[in-house]
């Protein structure tokens, strides 16, 4: 690696997000533990009306919205996020993302590595009240 790693999103495999009933959501692992041992950087695309189901995990996440908009539900709060917005979600906070727009939602998500990287789906519904 020689102190840096360079890549292009067009060269990184995209996989379907497989968290519970998630649909029309795709992930690319841009930087992984093969390049960096303490964190990972991922790119997500959620198609219109797509969803990443409510879930939680031991690692934290920092998301930056590149384009599109979504409803983000974190614990008992619902909020709209749009291009230019960012959010930090602490470990073990349940959260869900719903693309409520007419275009693809694209965002970057940086996570830390923890001993337990399991993702636990939750059957809670996202609240309708957007803050």
Say what the pLDDT of residue 112 is. 95
Kindly report, residue by residue over 31-90, the tens digit of the pLDDT.
Answer: 988 877 899 999 999 999 999 999 999 999 999 999 999 999 999 899 999 999 999 999
Sorted by where each starts, the structural domains of the chain and their CATH numbers stand as: 12-121 (2.60.120.10)
Strands 69-74 and 105-112: unpaired
Q: How confident is the model at residue 91 (pLDDT cuts 50, 70, 90)?
A: very high
pTM above 0.85, yes or no: yes
**Cβ 86 vs Cβ 54: under 8 Å:** no
Does position 129 have pLDDT exceeding 60, yes or no? Answer: no
pLDDT of residue 116: 93
Find the distance separating the first CA and the last CA of the chain, reported in whole Å: 44
**pLDDT value of residue 130:** 60
Q: Is the dihedral of CA 68, 90, 130, 16 positive or negative?
A: positive
Asked if pLDDT for residue 110 goes beyond 60, the answer is yes
């Amino acid at each position: 690696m020689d102190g840096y790693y360079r890549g292009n999103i067009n060269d990184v495999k995209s996989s379907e997000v497989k968290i519970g009933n998630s649909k029309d959501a795709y992930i690319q692992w841009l930087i992984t533990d093969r390049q960096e041992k303490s964190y990972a950087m991922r790119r997500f695309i959620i198609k219109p009306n797509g969803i990443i189901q409510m879930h939680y995990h031991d690692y934290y996440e920092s998301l930056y919205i590149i384009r599109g908009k979504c409803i983000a539900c974190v614990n008992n709060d619902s909020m709209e996020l749009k291009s230019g917005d960012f959010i930090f979600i602490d470990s073990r906070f349940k959260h869900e993302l719903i693309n409520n727009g007419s275009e693809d939602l694209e965002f970057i998500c940086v996570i830390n590595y923890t001993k337990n990287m399991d993702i636990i789906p939750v059957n809670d519904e996202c609240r309708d009240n957007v803050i």
